[in-house]
A and B are shown apart, each in its own frame.
Chain A
Amino acid sequence: MPLDTSSAYPLALLRVDGRRWNDLRRLHAAVRTQAAADGSAYLEMGNTKVMCTVTGPSEENKRRTAASTATGNTGGAGGGAGAGGAEVAVEIVVGGFSSVDRKRRGRGDKRIHELQTTLSKALAAALHTHLYPRSTIALSLHVLSQDGSLLAALLNASTLALVDAGIPMSDLPVACTAGLTSAASAADDPLVDLNAQEEQELPFLTLATLGDTDRVMVLVLETRVQAARLKDMVDLAADACKSVHKSLREVVRRRGEHMVEEGAVEKGASMAMDMDIDV
């Protein structure tokens, strides 16, 4: 019998981890965590911990694209190629130690492949790939710890790493999850940012929007849900995306300030000023 997670503390209306229905978990992120990559980021959403590195835009890797289309098991999923735009190749490595019970996922794992495809398509839509024809933007994501909302965490981490790599995009793609309590009464609110326990028991969806607009980039729903409640869930997830967007922007802004303090971008800043004067 499934546990009704929403009623762990029925009077206080708290969830199992003590949050209220619209509380996000602690979101901690760091940009530029690795010196060797063109762009890198580390993101924690509660206990879900993800690391992302970006290589590129670099010259198109013929061997790799040929292999991935031919056999489909090299692990990379490409999107956005064609029409002269850059290809966004996403590779996800799930650490064997990331879940509670050690479980090793091979490269050919269907779920990982699906995540890769979803991410690369979404990112290719948000990035200005047309500026880099015949090139590849390779993202590699490492899952260090899993506690629900994996797709959302992966997308948010990729966003930060792509910002760090300086690849132009129309806005920050951000993602969050929303779930529905199993209580039948319509008065119940849906929940945001589910953890692993809630994900196992409740129907949930992952929604990604472009910045704090209402433009939906990704909507993944793998469980059954009452059609009448879907709208509530999407609305709530979109609201949650806005607050995720706010904190990611804050991370990027702090990184920018840090770079100015270090003097790393002084030259670039003055160039921008020159350009302003010229215009």
Chain B
Amino acid sequence: MATATTQHLLLSPAELAYLHSTLSLTPPIRPDGRLATQFRPLTAETGILPGTYGSARVCFADGTEAIVGVKADVEKTRRTRISPEGQNGRRQRRKRQIGDDVGGGEEEEEEEEEEESAIVGENDWVEMTVEILGHRDDDNSTVFLAAMLSEALLSDGELTKKLWINRRFHWKLYIDIILISPPLSYPLPLLSLTTHLALLSTRLPRLKSEADEDPMFDDDWAASQPIYPSSRASSSSRPPITLLVMAIGENIIFDPSKEELAVADSVLAVSVVEAAVAATTTTTTDDGDVDVDMEDDRKTRRRNLRLLSVRTVDPPSRLTAPGVPNAVNAAAWGQAPPGASAKDPGVETEDVEGVWRPPRGGAKMAVLSAMVQKVLEKGGIADEVLDGLDGVELE
């Protein structure tokens, strides 16, 4: 599926073999001279389209560019089969029975809790479309990209929770992603970063009506509220980012370019989210030793990354044709040494230096877990990218 969104690379087997061997050195030597953990430089801006609720534009240094616009609509919440009123009524009755035993004070608290838990969004409140130039919008790869992006966005349920207005109405969020340039490399990280920024800049009008009335909103756009409040202190989550990681042998390489993808052994799309501060305290108390370290760390950098999803992406390298040594190459039979021609040409040879052989079989578990570990580690690539994105001014 990856190949459909990356342009076909016309690399000879010799070139592929060269790329593979340089990338499997320690440290790997990348065609563009980056370090293994270095991200491509990018420029980003937000709030470029005044007609949208939030928008962003990101350009990578290789010239790929994406624009994301977010639009919202008020929609009536579809009634589920078990009406929420009925359910609440039943629960309240049950609670009253308990309340009789324990006392009135606790009953009120529990009811409040229930109010909180009632705010549950549905995944179809967010609609995401991806437009890639030269690809139909119902193309396999396009749909797959949109699914991967929305999967990461919806997995923690935080976003849909923010779209809840009252029991009868909710916001419907439309996220339209346009890839402006031809897809030079696998566009997943670019689209994900742009969506991240667009969501950060998204603002919804302030609600004026109360409870379950028909919603009424403040006309004043200056009073509108961002769906992801910027203050780090509040216990709100941030939108996720999805990064591309690939492995060649034991080497783990971040943000691969198309040439590097052409020789990758395995490719992972890792979605991480910056967890809320409240969650930090609970996770650090798990282990006493770690706790101390984390405390120190948090003074300098208070970022706690949480893994949302990992997906393997079929690397295009699996579809490249293998290089065949002259000895067994039917097309080069004239050049083969006479002794070699006697061998059965169907027999596969061992790895030959300088001959490209596409990877076979699955990735090793150890390599996969190392890839995920490396994304999540403190001061790792995800940290670096999030730091960079934090620097982008929101409108």
Contacting residue for A36 out of B62, B67, B71, B136, CB 8 A:
B62
Residues on the B chain within 8 Å of A107, using CB: 136-137
Whether A36 contacts B51 by the Cβ 8 Å rule is: no
B121 at the interface (CB under 8 A from A): no
- Contact partners of B52 in chain A: CB under 8 A: 97
- Residues of the A chain whose Cβ atoms lie less than 8 Å from the Cβ of B174: 96-97, 102
Contact status B137-A106, CB under 8 Å: yes
Q: Chain B: how many interface residues by the 8 Å CB criterion?
A: 30
A100 within 8 Å of B by Cβ? yes
Do the beta carbons of B181 and A102 come within 8 Å of each other? no
Contacts of B55 in A (CB 8 A): 97
Q: A65 interface residue, CB < 8 Å from B?
A: no
- A37-B64 Cα distance, complex, nearest whole Å: 9
Indicate if the CB atoms of B51 and A98 lie closer than 8 Å.
yes
Answer yes or no: B65 CB below 8 A from chain A CBs. yes
B160 at the interface (CB under 8 A from A): no
Partner of B181 from the list A37, A104, A145 (CB cut-off 8 Å) is A37
- Cβ contacts under 8 Å, B61 to chain A: 35
A140 interface residue (CB < 8 Å to B): yes
* Nearest CB in chain B: distance from A272 CB, A: 28
* Cβ of B187 to closest chain A Cβ, rounded Å: 12
Could you tell me the dominant secondary structure of chain B's interface residues?
loop
Inter-subunit contact A34/B180 (CB<8 Å): yes
Cβ contact within 8 Å between B71 and A145? no
Residue in A34, A51, A95 whose CB lies within 8 Å of B69:
A95
A145 touches B131 (CB 8 A): no
Does the CB pair B64–A36 fall under 8 Å?
yes
Contact of B182 with A36 in the complex, beta carbons under 8 Å: yes
CB contact between B134 and one of A35, A36, A91 (< 8 Å): that residue: A91
Measured between beta carbons, the chain B residues less than 8 angstroms from A144 are 48-49, 67, 69
Specify which chain B residues have a CB less than 8 angstroms from the CB of A104 in the assembled complex.
129, 176
Contact B51 A37 (CB under 8 A): no
Q: Give the Cβ gap from A186 to chain B, nearest Cβ, in Å.
A: 37
A142 at the binding interface (Cβ < 8 Å): yes
Give B132's nearest chain A residue, CB to CB. Answer: A93
Which chain B positions have C-beta within 8 A of A91? 133-134
* Inter-chain contact total with CB atoms closer than 8 Å: 77
Kindly state whether residue B70 has any CB partner on chain A within 8 Å.
yes
Q: Which residues of A contact B63 (CB under 8 A)?
A: 34-37
Query: Are B137 and A142 touching (Cβ within 8 A)?
Result: no
Kindly list chain B residues whose C-beta atoms are within 8 Å of the C-beta of A145: 49-51
On whether the beta carbons of A95 and B65 are closer than 8 Å, the reply is: no
User: For residues 77 through 121 of chain A, which have their beta carbon under 8 Å from a beta carbon of chain B?
Assistant: 91, 93, 95-100, 102, 104, 106-107
Is A74 in the interface zone, CB < 8 Å from B? Answer: yes
> In the bound complex, do residue A51 and residue B137 qualify as a contact, i.e. CB atoms below 8 Å apart?
no
Residue numbers in A under 8 Å from B65 (CB-CB): 34, 36
Asked whether A36 and B49 contact (CB < 8 A) given A97-B69, A102-B174, the answer is no
Whether A96 and B69, one on each chain, are in contact in the complex, defined by CB atoms closer than 8 angstroms, is yes
**In the complex the two chains form, what is the Cα distance from A238 to B48 in whole Å?**
32
Give 1 or 0 for each of B45-88: 1 = CB within 8 Å of chain A CB. 00011111001000101111101011101000000000000000
Q: Does B184 contact A (CB under 8 A)?
A: yes
Q: Are A142 and B73 in contact (CB under 8 A)?
A: no
Residue among B67, B174, B180 having the largest count of chain A Cβ atoms under 10 Å: B180
State whether the Cβ of A49 lies closer than 8 Å to any Cβ in chain B: yes
Chain B 159-184 against A: per-residue CB contact (8 Å), 1 yes, 0 no?
00000000000000010101011101
Residues of B within 8 A of A37 (CB): 63, 181-182
- A97 touches which of B51, B59, B64 (Cβ 8 Å): B51
Binding site for B on A (CB under 8 A): 34-37, 47, 49, 51, 53, 55, 74-75, 91, 93, 95-100, 102, 104, 106-107, 140, 142, 144-145
> Which 6 A/B pairs are nearest by Cβ-Cβ distance?
A36-B63, A97-B69, A35-B63, A96-B176, A102-B71, A36-B181
30 contacts between A and B (CB under 8 A): A34-B63, A34-B180, A34-B181, A35-B59, A35-B61, A36-B181, A36-B182, A37-B181, A53-B180, A74-B136, A75-B136, A93-B133, A93-B178, A95-B67, A95-B69, A95-B176, A96-B71, A96-B129, A96-B174, A96-B176, A97-B49, A97-B52, A97-B69, A97-B70, A97-B174, A102-B71, A102-B73, A107-B137, A142-B178, A144-B69
